[in-house]
Amino acid sequence: MELKNLIRDIPDFPIEGIIFRDLTTLLRNPQWLRYTIDILTEKCSELTPDYVVGIESRGFVFGVPLAYQLNIGFIPVRKPGKLPAPVYSVDYDLEYGKDSLEMHQDAMVSGSRVLIIDDLLATGGTAGATAHLIEKANCELVGFGLIIELTELGGRKKLPNVPIVSLIQY
């Protein structure tokens, strides 16, 4: 099964000139979704993480079943104001603006091995910011797991030197 064939391209979304890679066409089919999670599990299990950290919101979609398959915990990274306990926070630049991410300070035990999961790597801003949260928590980043990587945007170059698993490259 070729995963790239399961992704729908939507031109000029969210702004003109952007091709949005829509994963909902993959998610709606249980066989394709199971296959995606199984492949991600196979490729990421050798990194031996203690936790999967999923980036809001599509990182949750893939991160929770991956954590389940690996029999490890799942930690959400959210936009500001959505987590009730004390948080670590990091600001970062987007292609067209600024944003922030947060993670509970007590989410992980110091020194834990952490795998970051998201749906897509573009310029690397969100993934890089999440890596900073892992650093603030005094944990070890063991890698990134992604469904899609937009290689032309060079996001990989902005990330720490750890393994990066991407199932589909454009």
Query: Tell me, what's the pLDDT at 131?
Result: 98
- Residue 128's H or E segment, with its range, is helix 125-136
Active-site residue 95, yes or no? yes
Task: Please tell me the predicted confidence (pLDDT) of residue 140.
Answer: 98
pLDDT of residue 93: 85
- Is beta strand 8-11 parallel, antiparallel or unpaired with respect to 19-22? antiparallel
- The span from the CA of 30 to the CA of 81, in Å, is 33
Q: Residue 35, SS3?
A: helix
**pTM of the complete model:** 0.96
Of 21, 58, 78, 102, which is the active-site residue? 58
List the domains of the chain with CATH numbers.
Answer: 8-169 (3.40.50.2020)
Confidence at residue 46, expressed as pLDDT on a 0 to 100 scale: 96
58 among known catalytic residues: yes
pLDDT at 94 (0 to 100)? 78
Task: Determine which one of 8, 28, 46, 95 is catalytic.
Answer: 95
Average confidence (pLDDT) per 10 residues, the chain, 170 residues: 91 93 95 97 98 97 98 98 98 85 97 98 96 98 98 96 97
